[in-house]
Amino acid sequence: MEKVANNLMFPCKHKQTGCRMSLGLNEKAEHEEVCEFRPYSCPCPGASCSWQGQLEKVMVHLQHAHQNITTLNGEDIVFLATEINLPGAVDWVMMQSCFGHHFMLILEKQEKCDGHTQFFAIVQLIGSRKQAEHFAYRLELNGNRRRLTWEAMPRSSHEGVASAIMGSDCLVFDTSIAQLFADNGNLGINVTISIVC
Amino acid sequence: MEKVANNLMFPCKHKQTGCRMSLGLNEKAEHEEVCEFRPYSCPCPGASCSWQGQLEKVMVHLQHAHQNITTLNGEDIVFLATEINLPGAVDWVMMQSCFGHHFMLILEKQEKCDGHTQFFAIVQLIGSRKQAEHFAYRLELNGNRRRLTWEAMPRSSHEGVASAIMGSDCLVFDTSIAQLFADNGNLGINVTISIVC
């Protein structure tokens, strides 16, 4: 009976949103977890928002449910994180719109158990991984004859940024560096998005 | 009696190597600690070498007492740190010669008490702080569609690099980042020295 079930093919549960794959029972669950037609989750960092929906609805959701998130237009903007010295874990979030796409800029402050504080800055595209592959982003801290730069491919909001931040696959810096570049407790991060040919 | 002593002026103890300052007793010791005519210490990281001497003698000392340090010529070179996965605190050191000056490239691996490993990369000029102000250096990790860059003024070997490393005023990255950019346990750091106008 099990053998028969393994030979049968079932359509992906995201068939209605466009997936045409049919899979054996064993592969089906695994595929559906990463299927590019699965619904998007709210891209805000942290797990406080449980919204899910289609890609086209993500910006509408953000504009309604997260009205405090600023959007700047252009491929070259400044992401200003204010009061970076406030204690505790904090997220700074803003949107950047360019090239007909929306990107979420995230600066996350984490306090490790030994009192060591780290900042993680990353960019994610509101879109699929395939779409993200066409872009590159640059984050730059500037000042006092110093410059720290991180360049990478944006994360897809389908993948989320948590694993990248956990694995330091983003711009990482500690409090000393933040102080070097901050002005009166406010840290400006130059963000540039570009198209990769 | 104390008042009289405070009004007297004494020459700096580095008079013979060129310092022309005379100072009151209170300021004299403080000045001599940072006097630009004081002898240079061996610029190798760590405190294992107690050599001190004139600036012109530093390279001679390095060539004799630290023969394992490679020197590359040119303003744009690759600093290859091999076997970065070896456990424990390790220093990688090499020299770069360009613009008629010698620069020491240092990569230091530190293991924090909580098991968190950090790498610190920095460039110091074999020369005074005034000389260092005429240069800038860029350290670059490259690969897998990612780039991490740090640009700053070189440290002077008179100041040493310990305080900069302690304060993260250098290129800082952790093991995850090192793995992203390393090839088979070997990490290449692109180093570019330039003249600041």
Is A174–B172 a contact, with Cβ atoms under 8 angstroms apart? yes
- Residue in this structure with the two tokens 């929906």, named with its chain if needed: A53
- For the stretch A39-80, pLDDT in tens is 999 999 876 899 999 899 999 999 999 988 999 999 999 999
Using alpha carbons, list the distances in angstroms from residue B106 to A39, B116, B162, B173. Answer: 48, 20, 11, 14
Residues of chain A in contact with residue B171, where contact means CB-CB under 8 angstroms, are 148
Residues of chain B in contact with residue A174, where contact means CB-CB under 8 angstroms, are 168, 172
Identify the closest residue of chain A to B175 by CA–CA distance.
A168
Domains for chain B: give ranges and CATH numbers. Answer: 2-34 (3.30.40.10), 63-195 (2.60.210.10)
- For the stretch B3-14, pLDDT in tens is 665 678 999 998
pLDDT at B4: 60
In a 3-state reduction of DSSP, which class is residue A152? strand
Residues of chain A in contact with residue B147, where contact means CB-CB under 8 angstroms, are 149-152
Of B142, B93, B144, B89, the residue nearest B116 (C-alpha): B89
- For the stretch A90-114, pLDDT in tens is 899 999 999 999 999 999 999 876 7
Task: Tell me: pLDDT of B1 over 60.
Answer: no
- Characterize the bridge pairing of strands A90-98 and A146-152: unpaired
Q: Which of A112, A153, A170, A172 to mutate to test the interface with B (most CBs of B within 10 A)?
A: A172
Of A101, A69, A78, A51, the residue nearest A187 (C-alpha): A78
Is B151–A146 a contact, with Cβ atoms under 8 angstroms apart? yes
pLDDT band at B25 (very low <50, low <70, confident <90, very high): confident
Nearest-Cα distance to chain B for A14, in Å, is: 31
Residues of chain B in contact with residue A173, where contact means CB-CB under 8 angstroms, are 168, 172
pLDDT at A156: 96
Nearest-Cα distance to chain B for A66, in Å, is: 31
HSE-CB at B128 with a 13 A cutoff on CA atoms is: 10
pLDDT at A32: 87
